[in-house]
Structure 1
Amino acid sequence: MSTLARRPASSLLPDLWEMFDATWPFGTRHPMHIEDFVEEGAYVVRAELPGLDAAKDIDVSATDGTLTITAQREETKKEQHRSEFRYGSFTRTVSLPSGADTSKISAEYKKGILEVRVPIAAPPEEHKVQIDVQQD
């Protein structure tokens, strides 16, 4: 069990643990956690985005072989409080696999999880090329 220690709201020094927990260029931590996998002919990306209004706060787009998920969480200011929530704008971009059909992307938001499905076209069958042999 963990206990949150309260600190004065007017603290001049930032919480050092928050600094180490933040996203760093060389770190692996990100405020938007995702997972991806291939299932039933589709590339699936799932993102944890609890407490958001999918119609207003989340945007999904695809261009140039990438899928981008952007979310915005607004902070409500309160007197003397502690919050470990992440606020602001969060963006994750992933490369789409070859054969991804971006014209048929679908997205569903349920219980704080955004699931994006990108159909993957079957790889084209091998085409044998006939070689013409020229006689001198």
Structure 2
Amino acid sequence: MSNLVSIPKNGSLAKTKANAIKGFPFVSSFFDDMFLEDFPSLFSSNFNAGVSLPKVNIKETEDSFHVEMAVPGMKKSDFQINLDENVLSVSTELEEENEVNETGFTRREFGYSSFRRTFTLPDTVDDNKILAEYNEGILSIKLPKKEEAKKKPARTIKIS
């Protein structure tokens, strides 16, 4: 199902021959091995503080693709799911503000978090029948395939 999403493991540029210097390892590979090996959680994650990309499972069946995203602690109204051309995007923005006034002091706390995941859909997806539901911390999106894209059962052809 690599046609739905293609993200390098550590967020670096994909390793291609265009990045290579003749006789040397790929530059991306060289720096990954040298510098990131000891600090994977520090340097291979996003640098945006307060942003955490939810884990995603993508599964293909004969009739559809299924995207499951782990996003506990939210409500279904927190999500924005959009389809533009063949790009599906899932995003959310949460702001929280809390103020406590007690004798002699005021404590004010606030927080902000957001994420956005995008997926390029294959042409085989019937974009008029996409369904989404949120249940117990899991956002599930069903991407049905067009009838002509569904796998047809094997059959025998008679010779006349």
Length-normalised TM-score, structure 2: 0.51
Q: Which has the higher helix share?
A: 2
Alignment size in residue pairs: 100
Looking at structure 1, the residues matched to 44 and 137 of structure 2 have their Cα atoms a distance apart, in angstroms, of 22
Deviations 1:27-77 (A, max 9, x none): xx952221111124111111111111112x101111211111012232345
Aligned to 1:73: 94
Q: How does 1:9-48 map to 2 (within 5 A)?
A: 20=43, 22-24=45-47, 30-48=52-70
Looking at structure 1, the residues matched to 60 and 45 of structure 2 have their Cα atoms a distance apart, in angstroms, of 30
The residue identity in structure 1 corresponding to 2:139 is L
Secondary structure of the 1:75 match is: strand
Looking at structure 2, the residues matched to 91 and 51 of structure 1 have their Cα atoms a distance apart, in angstroms, of 17
CA deviation after TM superposition for structure 1 residue 24, in Å: 4.5
Looking at structure 2, the residues matched to 114 and 87 of structure 1 have their Cα atoms a distance apart, in angstroms, of 20
Q: Structure 1 residues 77, 23: closer, same or farther in 2, change over 3 A?
A: farther
Q: Structure 1 residues 58, 105: closer, same or farther in 2, change over 3 A?
A: same
The equivalent position to 1:95 in structure 2, one of 115, 120, 123, is: 120
User: Alpha carbon RMSD of aligned pairs, Å?
Assistant: 3.3
Q: Which has the higher strand share?
A: 2
Q: Structure 1 residues 40, 109: closer, same or farther in 2, change over 3 A?
A: farther
The residue identity in structure 1 corresponding to 2:70 is E
Length-normalised TM-score, structure 1: 0.59
Looking at structure 1, the residues matched to 53 and 96 of structure 2 have their Cα atoms a distance apart, in angstroms, of 15
Aligned to 1:115: 140
Q: Structure 1 residues 19, 92: closer, same or farther in 2, change over 3 A?
A: same
Looking at structure 1, the residues matched to 52 and 122 of structure 2 have their Cα atoms a distance apart, in angstroms, of 22
Looking at structure 1, the residues matched to 92 and 44 of structure 2 have their Cα atoms a distance apart, in angstroms, of 20
Aligned to 1:54: 76
